[in-house]
Amino acid sequence: MVEINREHKDRLFTFLFGKKGRKEWTLSLYNAVNGTDYTDLDSIEFTTMEDAVYMGMKNDVSFILCHVMNVYEQQSSYNPNMPVRQLMYAAKLYDKYIQQKKLNIYGRKLARLPIPKLVAFYNGTEGEDDRILKLSDAFMQEGEGQEWDIEAKVRMININYGKNESLLSSCRPLEEYSWLVARIRKNRQTMKIEQAVDSAIQDMPEDFEIREFLIGHRAEVKDLCITEYNEAETMQMIREEGREEGREEGRREGREEGRQEGHKEGRQEGREEGNITTLYDLYRDGDITLQRAAIKAGMSESAFLEAAKELIGT
């Protein structure tokens, strides 16, 4: 029986594609993304960081294959900050690699490193298309543009069912995962999340590769899906509340020019405080990790905990 880390829960994507016991699915995903046809499962070396073990960080899936360091993240909502996040993951993975291989990066001999490939698998509902996200898009430019010395590019791929059909058909486990997510969302319109997940697993076609595995680990899968769905639903609620507050405040703006800036700051502070409070509740209940909560709030883990302490009085 595969164990789930209760303190730092995996995503279903990680559960399927990031485990040593299912290397064939990882290799199938790699081949589909890169247009290759590798068959040697033993060539895969998983490097996924466990946040409780390695310097407070955890990514979804990472592995080295044929001198390529693959860093995969699954996103249920569009996040333009993936380049800086993936850059941070890559830096930690390189540090780990250098230590494990006992490379000397201070000597005269060039230390050879694996090629980084950064990919974000997007299956949100905002309707985002495939694109290349660049770190440089986040750089602050004032006046004449300046040259930058660091760049990171993330390939974002829409894996919603019905999108990128050629890619999905090249990796049956990914296509079946996409089908499952779509069916859970459809069921959720009329069912509670627990029933929606159960029904989706039960309705999977008999010839699906992942069906037997999911049925055999139904409790774990349900736990992962519920956690992931609750996180996505909460973040959507936060965004909707923020938009509504902005619309309501906008109706009242424009009367006193001298108060406009105060209104703006007050609205922003109110949204940020509500966001932090909700995220802290999710973290405290074990629905999301401290790292993910801090990222969603746009601050460091220590700053997030300090802000939550001030707001909630914990």
* This prediction's pTM: 0.72
Residue 244 has a pLDDT of 57
pLDDT recorded at residue 243: 54
Residue with tokens 């490379």: 103
From residue 218, alpha-carbon distances to 13, 23, 39, 162, 297 in Å are 15, 20, 29, 25, 32
Residue 275's contacts (CB-CB under 8 Å, 6 or more residues apart) are: 238, 242, 296, 297
Separation of alpha carbons 83 and 86, rounded Å = 5
* Per-residue model confidence (pLDDT) at position 295: 83
pLDDT digits (tens, 9 = 90+) for 89-111: 999 999 999 999 999 999 999 99
The pLDDT score that the predictor gives to residue 248 is 57
Quick check: 132 and 151 in contact, CB under 8 A?
no
The kind and range of the H/E element at 178 are helix 172-188
Residue segments in the chain with a per-residue pLDDT below the cut of 50: 1-9, 52-56, 255, 257-264
pLDDT given for residue 228 in this prediction: 74
Q: What is the pLDDT of residue 262?
A: 47
- The pLDDT score that the predictor gives to residue 3 is 39
pLDDT per residue over 127-153, tens digit each?
889 999 999 999 987 767 788 999 999
Beta-ladder partners of 117? 70
